[in-house]
Amino acid sequence: MLARGLTTACNKIQPTLRNELSTSLLTKLLEGMQKRFGGLENNILLARATFFDPRFKKNGFMSGSSYNNVKDSVTAAISRQLAASSADATSSAVPEESRSETSVLDVDDLIWGDFDRSAAVQVRNPQASTISLVRQFVDEPNIGRRDDPLAWWWGRVQVYRELVPLARKSV
């Protein structure tokens, strides 16, 4: 965002320059910034950091394709994370044979046991959950440029608990 702001400022100043030396200097400055900062949106770590920054999100990208690439990358990473945690939950479910006879006699288990066990091993669709979660994050209004993004994330740890680990890696 800073590189884009500097480029915009230089482009605004350029028509006002009257001598050749200042025009040449500004042209070299713009060329140098393009060379150094032109591909920042293609750097996945920087793109993720921009995406997860609640001040910028989609507005931090000049290219719609760069935004879509990072959003797809984030969605895929979180889907893998959710699929792995679902597989762990399914494999750690207590098999029916290992239940003791006393738990069968428990009235609560007798009435609700089958339901509780089936609900515990239901596998949710990680891709659909992730798409919904990322959409919810993107649709939230951006915070002000001077607001604290870490405070924003701290206030939403429970809402976006699947996004938080990936957002932390990106900062």
pLDDT of residue 129: 82
What does the pLDDT read at residue 28?
A: 95
CA–CA separation, 66 and 88 (whole Å):
33
Q: Mind listing the pLDDT tens digit for each residue in 101-138?
A: 555 557 777 777 777 777 665 556 767 788 899 999 99
DSSP for 33-63 reads: HHHHHTTGGG-HHHHHHHHH-TTTGGGG-S-
**Residues ≥6 apart with Cβ < 8 Å to 50:** 1, 41, 56, 57, 60, 61, 70
Contact criterion met (CB below 8 Å) for 82 and 133: no
Q: Are residues 148 and 161 in the same domain?
A: yes
- Burial environment of residue 152 by CB neighbours within 10 A (0 to 12, 13 to 18, 19 or more): middle
Domains identified in the chain, total number:
2
53: its two tokens: 């920054």
Q: Are residues 76 and 133 in the same domain?
A: yes
End-to-end CA distance of the chain: 15
The answer on 136 and 57 residing in a single domain is yes
Residue 10 belongs to domain spanning: 1-38
The mean per-residue pLDDT over the stretch 66-95 comes to 78
Same domain? 86 vs 112? yes
Residue 136 sits in the same domain as residue 74: yes
pLDDT surpasses 80 at 168: yes
Does 22 share its domain with 93? no
95: pLDDT strictly greater than 80? no
Instruction: Give CA–CA dist 130/162, Å, rounded.
Output: 9
**Mean pLDDT, rounded, of the chain:** 84
Check: CB of residue 69 under 8 Å from CB of residue 39.
no
